[in-house]
Structure 1
Amino acid sequence: MAHLPRPRIAASIAAVAAIALLAGCTAESEPRETDAAGQSVTFWTPQTTPERLAAQEAVAAAFTEETGIEVEVVPMAGADQDQALVTGAASGDVPDVILHASSQTGAWNSQGLLDTEAAAATVDALGTDTFNERALEAVTLEGQVAAVPSDGWTHVIAYRADLLEQAGVDVPASVADLAEAATTVKEKLGITGLAFGTQAGTASATEGIQSIFQSAGCELVTDGEVTIDSDECTEAAEHFLELRNSSVAGDFDVTSARAAYMNGDAAMLLFSTHILDELAGLDPANPATCPECASSPTFLSDNTEFVTVLNEDDPAQYGAVLSYGIPTGANVEAAQQYIEYVLGTGYVDTLASATEGRIPLRNGTADNPSEFLDAWGELGIGPAHEKTSAELYGDEFVSGMADGINAVYLWGMGSDDAELAGLVSSQGILAGQIEQLYNGTSPADVTASMKQAVEEVQAGL
């Protein structure tokens, strides 16, 4: 993405380098030996749909068969995990492993709820260099790896190659290019240029703002200083308005943005990788409804290509990082052995529980550095797992997704600013300010208002 060079997180990189030195090499470790007698693991997972739960239970059963360690898989949404962990910690009854979001890693770590030494040792055992560097940054707090990266997703730009050619525009390589292309599509073809979340005050707009702004080189906060009013951010606001105005159907939320593209009413769509199966007509709950789709169910996937990274020199793809945490007071040895299994022998089957939304954050092994990324492209997508991403979109797309997930980024991640950035996102602070932009307030004044709103949140920390 169009992202200007930003300060790297020195403490995070130093910690990662230190772990690598301790490891000596990144050879794949053998599963650690544990006395299985009386051992068990309680695993909380936010992947709670019946199909995903069944897949995770199958991996757990295979682990039990190999090790003799029983696993209880407990479906629990992220919002419920927070309170349940605090309550469990107070009573001394905690799970052994929790799959959770990077924002939770920071919050739990600050409360002393995570055994960071156990997590760091697990990363060490698997090989630090086998992990996505950005994902490790996301979970490195106060110089210590606090959780073990598992999988995630990123935003992509799906585009109708036939419509861009018809409009005479090139595939965008930056946010500025994207805004220009979207505007041209609307003017020449009379359809929406880019469909994405723009409804002021909504979670959809929060994602849309963060995705576009950080892609344009804008940082929310740097070393404790709120910088959302920088030149880069003001320029991002200008492009955001252009992109919003490329719609012929008003403001979108996630659902209506997806529908516009699926209907053939938009030339481009900013969306998560969860769109991959839907474009191919593999999700009955979200069918492709374009005029051509009735006679040709794969019309959209046949004519859709993807921008997986904007500005290859310094990309910052908005997305999610899920990691395995080991709570303080957990059965550490059994927990470590389980995590090593689900990120090793059982990793591909774990990813297959929801392929389009679970892209590996452990890229491969020391012997085969891209093993898991390559395997991801050969996994079936959609509820029935009928076709693979490689079959639908080609090997080049799979390589592009590897570039995209390795560029995953969230404001403040892995830094002391993570808590502030997380609150700004969860409270929809920027989305609450964006309507001013729609009503004619200058981009510079809007980003100044954003800064004031963010500083008010900061003052309350």
Structure 2
Amino acid sequence: MLSRPAHRLTLSLLTLALCGAASAQLTLWTTEEQPDRIAVQERIAADFEAQTGISVTVVPVNEAQMGERVTAAFAAGELPDVIYHPLNYTLGWTEAGILDTFAATEVVELLGEETFSAGALSLVEVAGEYAAVPVDGWTQLLLYRADLFEEAGLEAPSSYEAILAAIDALHNPPERYGFVAATDVSQPYMLQVFEHFALANGVQLVDDEGNVTLDTPEMVETLEFYKRLVEASPAGNLYWEQSRELYHAGRAAMIVWSPFILDELAGLRDDVPVTAFDDPTTSELAERTGFLTRLSGPSFAEGAGWSDIRYFGITVDADVDAAMQFVEYSMSEGYVDTLSVAAEGKIPVRRGPADDPEAFVEAWSNLEVGVDRRAPLSDFYSAELLGELVAGLETANRWAFAQGQGLLYSRMADTRVLVETLREFLDGDRSAEETASLMQERVAALQQ
């Protein structure tokens, strides 16, 4: 892909040049901010320093605050060297001049483009370069109490119709809520959940020509459906924390969450206990839970999934050569350790090096998860589910990126214009038809 002459050392030469040179000092900002995950990242940094002499300071940053923090640091000329971040920030940062796309592309090419998921790379391709280096990903899940569904004679909630039927049968507040929807506009979780249901009904942000396509009957259906979910949820501003808490307590029939919940459901974390049963360390809730990676709406029988990819971005303020070497290490020799930060939700997007193309997937499947107790996911979940998690990264959909409009998506996510309009609808400010039209207008304005 690179056509311009390389102006930096290749990583193999770079390693020789920098090993033992203790002068380089890097800063990594990461959205993996939980103490146990920070500890693993600091161990990776220490191993890297032992090999190269390059020190890495790991700085946790809340994902909801990452955009504002990065913008402020850029204005001050104080960006970190490397940022571990979700997809929705990548193209906006590229347009703003925050990311060094040439450095990221060099790393991808040196590691081998063919060793990465093509989908993960295509999402961040800009003008023939890659804005950032794919690290890992996850497929969003709809979790449901399979035992309660079976007792009530309900089918799995894989469609709008089945979800609403389950709400009618199982919603019994305050003892149990039929659903826990996302309603807090300050949390990225709200856009993730709504986008998942919109995709399930065939709603796209833009068409192949880049025209915004939100003012449609399918979007009106999605809005009316989402309002039903909210009506079956507790009052207030809801996001991932409340949905997990209520599900762990046995007070929710269905929630949407990432695979990061899998170790917690199995009773492996004392700080996030399962309170539905007498023993907070039991794996009983995991055994009673069903999982779906793909949903469908009334206007789109094929349905869709939703996934998130995480990336290493090398910034324009970085010590570029040292930053490239750290990313290369994290995606090769240190990659299994990188996935082990939280293996339940860090599914590999680099399956293996050219000479062992499935090595990283095989190693990931055997990684232990949990905090206070440790065990492989395979001790609690079927091989079929684990296979779906890996395959989901190849088939799951996202708004705008396939149409080459990822930058528009980033603007929409950063400004929160869509979720704020959605929240106004949920609060009764206007009809579904009026809301779809206003969403169209407000998102289209971001293209100008």
Q: Which bracket does the TM-score occupy, shorter chain normalised?
A: 0.7 to 0.9
Residue number in structure 2 paired with 1:452: 441
- Amino acid in structure 1 at the alignment position of 2:72: Q
Deviations 1:315-369 (A, max 9, x none): 7544433211223364444333322211111111112123334332223333444
- Amino acid in structure 1 at the alignment position of 2:347: I
Q: Superposition pairs for residues 189-338 of structure 1, below 5 Å?
A: 191-198=176-183, 205-222=190-207, 223-247=209-233, 249-250=234-235, 253-254=238-239, 255-290=241-276, 292-294=277-279, 297-310=282-295, 316-328=304-316, 330-338=318-326
Counterpart contact for 1:437–1:443, Cα < 8 Å: no
Deviation at 1:271, TM superposition (A): 1.3
Deviation at 1:75, TM superposition (A): 0.6
2:342 is the counterpart of 1:354: yes
Residue number in structure 1 paired with 2:16: 34
Deviation at 1:199, TM superposition (A): 5.7
Q: Return the alpha-carbon distance in structure 2 between the equivalents of residues 109 and 244 of structure 1.
A: 35
Counterpart contact for 2:307–2:392, Cα < 8 Å: no
Residue number in structure 1 paired with 2:57: 73
Q: Return the alpha-carbon distance in structure 2 between the equivalents of residues 202 and 323 of structure 1.
A: 20
Give the TM-score normalised by structure 2.
Answer: 0.82
Q: 1:443 to 1:363 in 2, by over 3 A?
A: farther
- Amino acid in structure 1 at the alignment position of 2:272: N
Counterpart contact for 2:306–2:398, Cα < 8 Å: yes
Deviation at 1:380, TM superposition (A): 2.4
Q: 1:295 to 1:271 in 2, by over 3 A?
A: closer
Q: Superposition pairs for residues 105-144 of structure 1, below 5 Å?
A: 105-144=90-129
Deviation at 1:155, TM superposition (A): 2.0
Alignment match of 2:386 (pick from 387, 398, 408): 398
- Amino acid in structure 2 at the alignment position of 1:390: S
Root-mean-square deviation (CA, aligned residues, Å) is 3.3
- Amino acid in structure 1 at the alignment position of 2:195: Q
Counterpart contact for 2:343–2:369, Cα < 8 Å: yes
| SS across alignment from 2:290 | strand
Deviations 1:292-336 (A, max 9, x none): 344872220121121123369977544433211223364444333
Deviations 1:226-251 (A, max 9, x none): 2111233223223323333444x446
Equivalenced residue count is 425
Residue number in structure 2 paired with 1:148: 133
Deviations 1:193-221 (A, max 9, x none): 33221467875543332221123221123
| Structure 2 alignment gaps of length 5 or more | 3-10
| Structure 1 alignment gaps of length 5 or more | 1-17, 20-28
Q: 1:110 to 1:431 in 2, by over 3 A?
A: closer
Residue number in structure 1 paired with 2:151: 166
Q: 1:241 to 1:342 in 2, by over 3 A?
A: same
Deviations 1:34-77 (A, max 9, x none): 312536351312134443233222222222333x3312223152
| SS across alignment from 1:103 | helix
Q: 1:97 to 1:315 in 2, by over 3 A?
A: farther
| SS across alignment from 1:354 | coil
Deviations 1:72-96 (A, max 9, x none): 223152342332244337xxxx654
Q: Return the alpha-carbon distance in structure 1 between the equivalents of residues 186 and 100 of structure 2.
A: 37
